[in-house]
Amino acid sequence: MFFRKRRKIQVNKEQVLNAPLPQHIAIILDGNGRWAKKRGLPRTAGHQEGAMNVREITKLCANIGIKALTVYAFSTENWKRPDEEVKFLMKLPIKFFNEFAPELVENNIRLKVIGNVEELPIDLQQKVLEISELTKNNTKMTLTIALNYGSQDEIKQAVQAIATEVKNGQLNVEDINEDVINQHLMTSDLPPLDLMIRTSGELRISNYLLWQLAYAELYFTSIAWPDFKEEQLYEALLDYQKRNRRFGALNEAN
């Protein structure tokens, strides 16, 4: 069973760091609103705390050798939330980028944003371009933020682009394979996805990186995102290292 109940376990961090680490981790940042409600705070306070935690987990991942971290910040379905919350969620990334930009540069982290950026408010679009340009040559790790992102929409756009290339004689139908599809996805320049983490107890994928998740390991925890700290990340990494990744094949023993 994938679900991990909250419990105290001893994790030898040195042992985890000396074992193979995932090169690409994706996280569904769930539970910000519930974290706030539990404390008698407005949902926006939970989103603010969650954004602060993204900064800390990003730096931690970069420092231990993770090459790519992709976080689900705002989905194409999140527009259905109350207007005031959506307005806050459109302003929060600007504040996040402004405050985090110096640390991205200092830690040699590249920022990438995936999703339908052209549908975001103009000031947010401009900030995305600004920080992406500022960090484009950073090489230690790539932080990808999914904003106004939906995986089914991403796959639809990839199919449309491939169909256009076939129509224009740039691509033969028989040459369409997994690599061609990967090249047309928004994550085409990232390593294959190894581990997907979802916080706050929900056991769903929620239209997130559906193609990329084909052989990723899934880790679910009941801990809300603002409480997912260094200790919880190491627990997830330890669990990942215990998995037997066969990619559809059998063990030699079998």
For the chain, list the strands marked E by DSSP.
Answer: 3-4, 24-28, 68-75, 109-114, 141-149, 195-198, 217-221
Q: Catalytic: 30?
A: yes
What is the rounded CA–CA span in Å between residue 188 and residue 101?
24
The answer to whether the annotation marks 206 as part of a ligand binding site is yes
Would residue 161 be called left, alpha or beta, if left means φ above 0 and alpha means ψ between -120 and 50 degrees?
alpha
Q: What angle do CA 155, 156, 158 make, to 5 degrees?
A: 60
The answer to whether the annotation marks 34 as part of a ligand binding site is yes
The answer to whether the annotation marks 116 as part of a ligand binding site is no
Instruction: Determine the straight-line distance between the first and last CA of the chain, rounded to whole angstroms.
Output: 22
The answer to whether the annotation marks 7 as part of a ligand binding site is no
CB 230 within 8 A of CB 213: no
- Cross-strand partners of 158: none
The answer to whether the annotation marks 177 as part of a ligand binding site is no
CA 22, chain centre distance (Å):
13
Q: Catalytic: 78?
A: yes
Choose, from 18, 63, 78, 137, the residue flagged as catalytic: 78
Choose, from 12, 18, 30, 63, the residue flagged as catalytic: 30
CB crowding 48-66: b at 16 or more within 10 Å, else e: bbbbebbeebbbebbebeb
CB 239 within 8 A of CB 25: no
What is the rounded CA–CA span in Å between residue 203 and residue 219?
9
The answer to whether the annotation marks 246 as part of a ligand binding site is no
The answer to whether the annotation marks 145 as part of a ligand binding site is no
The answer to whether the annotation marks 188 as part of a ligand binding site is no
Token pair listed for 135: 């960090």
3-state secondary structure of 4: strand
The answer to whether the annotation marks 30 as part of a ligand binding site is yes
The answer to whether the annotation marks 35 as part of a ligand binding site is yes
The answer to whether the annotation marks 204 as part of a ligand binding site is yes
The answer to whether the annotation marks 205 as part of a ligand binding site is yes
The answer to whether the annotation marks 32 as part of a ligand binding site is yes
Token pair listed for 217: 């390991």
The answer to whether the annotation marks 75 as part of a ligand binding site is yes
Per the annotation, where are the binding residues for Mg(2+)?
30, 217
Active centre residues (catalytic)? 30, 78
Task: Specify binding-site residues for substrate.
Answer: 31-35, 43, 47, 75-77, 79, 81, 198, 204-206
Please enumerate, by residue number, every residue annotated as part of a binding site.
30-35, 43, 47, 75-77, 79, 81, 198, 204-206, 217
